[in-house]
Amino acid sequence: MNNSIALEALLFIWSGGLSTEEIAKMVRMTTSQTTKALEELQRKYSPDTSGIVLSRYGNTWLLETNASCFSLIQSAIGEENPKNLSQQAMEVLSIIAYRQPVTRVEVEAIRGVRSSSVFDTLLARELIREAGRKDTVGKPYLYETTDTFLRVFSLSSLEELPAMPSERETPCD
Amino acid sequence: MDRIEPLFVTVESFSGPLDLLLQLIRKNRLQIEDIPLSEITSAYLQSMNESSDVDTESAGDFLVLASELMYIKSRTLLPRPEDDEEVDPREELVQRLKLYEKFQNITLVLSDHEKKHAGRILKLAEDLTAFQSEPLELKGDLDALTSAFADLLQRKARQESEESVVRQDFIRSEPFEISVAMERIQERVSARPIRMEALVLTHSVGEWIAVFISVLELIKIQFLTVEVEQGEIYLRRREFE
């Protein structure tokens, strides 16, 4: 069977997204072969030519609608704008994104305000996750961003994060 | 120096004390490196005083910065010995403000990014249970199963001890036979998942253990599969083609 046919079917069925390894296991290929085949398939499901797009977020592959169709879909459902993250949540999220893995206290030190409820929100929305513990007093949890974070911000990997303005003057690090 | 204008808003409209300070600086077109401490402190305090609906927790954070500002202000007012090598007490605050501002700016960039790329919709996950008569691998692993069962037992034991205070003397211990429990499970379990709890008739821990041992036995002879979801044990009959 043609590999791309199998991949399409798998991605259609497991519509919440599959990792490269999961797909590789199912189609009995190596991960590098799988990655190559998926990248090949991305050409077919490209935002330029297809209403359904094959996207990669970190290690997760999934099929989703073309962003350019959103206003059409929105007016069809009669739905208002989706609920965006609060200003606070966005701030915490961007600090974690650029400083990960990072503890809650380190984030709070930058913001100058307690942020535990914001952390709970971000954890519940699976935008961040725990990433072990820091080897300091109290062994605080470290946090990092998830593939869901990448998807929400349309980044295929963390390297695609917009560059921070120069860090030379920051006293941290 | 002109008087620095305070901001009159609720504390909720700021994402924190540093945010309030930065907005004061921006509103009055000041440079972070060069804030007139005395004026900014009184503007900050005034903004705080005028703000309504401050919940005590976040008010604490705002007060911390207020006291820091006043501390720095007092330090700059005191005469310092000639050979004092200490850095400008404002320096640390300036660095913090700059770093925080940097993150605020990048937050705006990310927000834009999010908005620009919003609206990619995922299909809901398929319900694949119809195809899963024989799962490739057991999902709920042994650890999950045993810990779910341990939790259950503990819950039951607590319930039982509460109830048995009254009934202890009337009820003798009943033996629960594994073979009886197994028969009952085999009758009740189908292709649709059923909660293990539904198979137990009394609150007795003894019966729970009998049911659990039966379940393990039935897994072993491949009659059942189990799944543990949110601490609940689900049983399903295993089917073969």
Residue with tokens 């911390």: B64
**How many C-beta neighbours within 10 Å does residue A52 have?**
19
B120 closest CB neighbour out of A64, A84, A95: A64
Burial pattern B194-223, b for ≥16 Cβ within 10 A else e, equals bebeebbeeebbebbbbbbebbebbbeeeb
Q: What angle do CA B41, B46, B48 make, to 5 degrees?
A: 100
pLDDT score for A171: 44
pLDDT of B167 > 70? The answer is no
**Distance from C-alpha of A130 to C-alpha of A128, rounded to nearest angstrom:** 7
The per-residue pLDDT for range A109-128, each reduced to its tens digit, is 999 888 888 899 899 888 99
A53 touches chain B (CB under 8 A): yes
- Of B2 and A60, more confident: A60
Confidence of residue A167 (pLDDT cuts 50, 70, 90): low
Q: Residues near A98 by Cβ (< 8 Å), separated by ≥ 6? A: A161, A164, B103, B106
- Tell me the average pLDDT of chain B: 76
State the amino acid at position A148 in one-letter form: T
Residue of B nearest to A96 (CA): B103
* Among B32, B90, B107, B127, the residue to mutate for chain A (most A Cβ within 10 A): B107
The mean pLDDT value for A81-107 works out to 88
Question: Which residues 62-81 of A have a C-beta within 8 angstroms of B?
Answer: 62-67, 69-71, 73-74
Q: ipTM value, please give it.
A: 0.77
Q: Does B18 touch chain A (CB under 8 A)?
A: yes
pLDDT, tens digit (0-9, with 9 covering 90-100), for B93-140: 888 889 999 999 999 888 888 887 777 888 877 777 676 655 444 455
Which chain A residue lies closest to B64 (C-alpha atoms)?
A112
Cα–Cα distance for residue pair B137/A91, rounded to 1 Å: 42
Say which of B57, B65, B104 has its CB closest to residue A114.
B57
* The pTM of the whole model exceeds 0.80: no
Q: What radius of gyration do chain B's Cα atoms show?
A: 33
pLDDT computed for residue B162 by the predictor: 59
Give the total residue count for chain B. Answer: 241
